[in-house]
Amino acid sequence: MKLRNFITTILCFSLVVLSCKKDDEDPEPEPVPIRDRQEVYDENIVEIEEYLETHFYNYEEFEQNPTYSDLSIMPYNVTPNDTFEIVFDTISGVNSDKTPLMNQVTSKEVTDSEGIVYTLYYLVVREGLGGTIHPIDRVFADYKGLLIDGTLFDSAVSAVPFDLTAVGNARGVVDGFRESIIEFKAREGFSENGDGTITNHNHGIGAVFVPSGLGYFSQTQATVPAYSNLIFTYSSQKRTLLDHDNDTVFSYLEDLNGNEDYFDDDTDGDSLANFVDVDDDGDGTLTKDEVEQKEYTEDESMMPFMSRDDAQTYYDTNAAANEILFSIVENNDGTYTLNTVVLTDSNDDGTPDYLDSSVN
């Protein structure tokens, strides 16, 4: 009986709704026009620079310790700075003598797709000693996202992986974050803590102050109003070199003109950028078949690599100029295998075979 009554109620309600005239419906809200990007930036940069002049970070805590851990001895001589977190505060009262962020930040110019030139301020607490981070890489980072008033809108504390550039299903990150984190390096090493966690060592630590045009601009996020300036603090703990087309040439190497735009390098003119093209020169031979893959399991004295450092040192000492480190793999017996890719140039014309359609 209850079910039937419930159904009857729904039917009655539906008839009432259907009988309402269209004229009684609420009108559609008028779409809000998107503001001019240059006008918004002119406002944004004033707010950011005012913040930098009136705020400081806890630099004195960082300066109390050695900048980097000493990983040349075992066990590692570890600095507390490996777990340092940036905290911002206002210069006032007992903090009136602090050095403002404006005296400590670095800046670079970033131009968006509409030709607007932005000044992007970023804070280098320490650059890091590990691998270079490229715009096309995947990065693992701890970070916090703040509005200019200090409101936390996003965070991650377990080295979340994300691709810096949107490719395929990968969403990428906001331009301001990407353009700043590539100024840092990844970790140099790590220690296992015995509880399943690790501590990274000698990675980059910094922050960036992002105008809305290099952030979400007119898009309203859950807790981020449109045209909001953003602040990110982060630790650039690990990076992964991506090979989007699995041709054994890392994507970062396929930026041939060096402009950090990976979509405008198309050697064979087939409308596929090299980093997603399995035959870069269009000669009918796959790129992976026009490079030489090499494998090393031991050094010159036939001593197996017993650690990643052994394999890395061998590569650093012995690799040819056109030989690229592809991976270091741990084997089941505790030894390591070093894998490299040689960008061969069979006719010695200065162009690698995989980019030279006259060689196949």
What pLDDT shows up at residue 160?
A: 85
What pLDDT shows up at residue 8?
A: 38
Q: Do 80 and 221 reside in the same domain of the chain? A: yes
What pLDDT shows up at residue 1?
A: 30
Q: Do 223 and 297 reside in the same domain of the chain? A: no
Q: Which two tokens stand for residue 101?
A: 């962020």
Give mean pLDDT, residues 170-182: 96
Report yes or no on 283 lying in a domain: no
CATH number of the domain residue 90 falls in: 3.10.50.40
Mean pLDDT of the chain: 91
Q: Which two tokens stand for residue 131?
A: 């691998």
pLDDT tens-digit map of 297-328: 999 999 999 998 899 999 999 999 999 999 99
Domain of 206?
Answer: 37-240
What pLDDT shows up at residue 197?
A: 87
Q: Do 233 and 338 reside in the same domain of the chain? A: no
Report yes or no on 210 lying in a domain: yes
What band does 15 get if pLDDT is binned at 50, 70 and 90? very low
Return the sign of the alpha-carbon dihedral for residues 102, 108, 111, 117: positive
d(CA 196, CA 35): 49
Residue 183 scores a pLDDT above 90: yes
Q: Do 215 and 337 reside in the same domain of the chain? A: no
What pLDDT shows up at residue 17?
A: 36
Q: Do 119 and 215 reside in the same domain of the chain? A: yes
What band does 229 get if pLDDT is binned at 50, 70 and 90? very high
Q: Do 68 and 178 reside in the same domain of the chain? A: yes
Report yes or no on 262 lying in a domain: no
d(CA 70, CA 129): 11
Residue 5 scores a pLDDT above 80: no
Q: Do 229 and 108 reside in the same domain of the chain? A: yes
**Torsion angle, CA of 281/285/286/289, rounded to 10 degrees?**
-120
Q: Do 218 and 75 reside in the same domain of the chain? A: yes
d(CA 190, CA 195): 14
Q: Do 234 and 298 reside in the same domain of the chain? A: no
In total, how many domains does the chain have?
2
Residue 112 scores a pLDDT above 70: yes
Tallying the residues shown for the chain, one arrives at 360
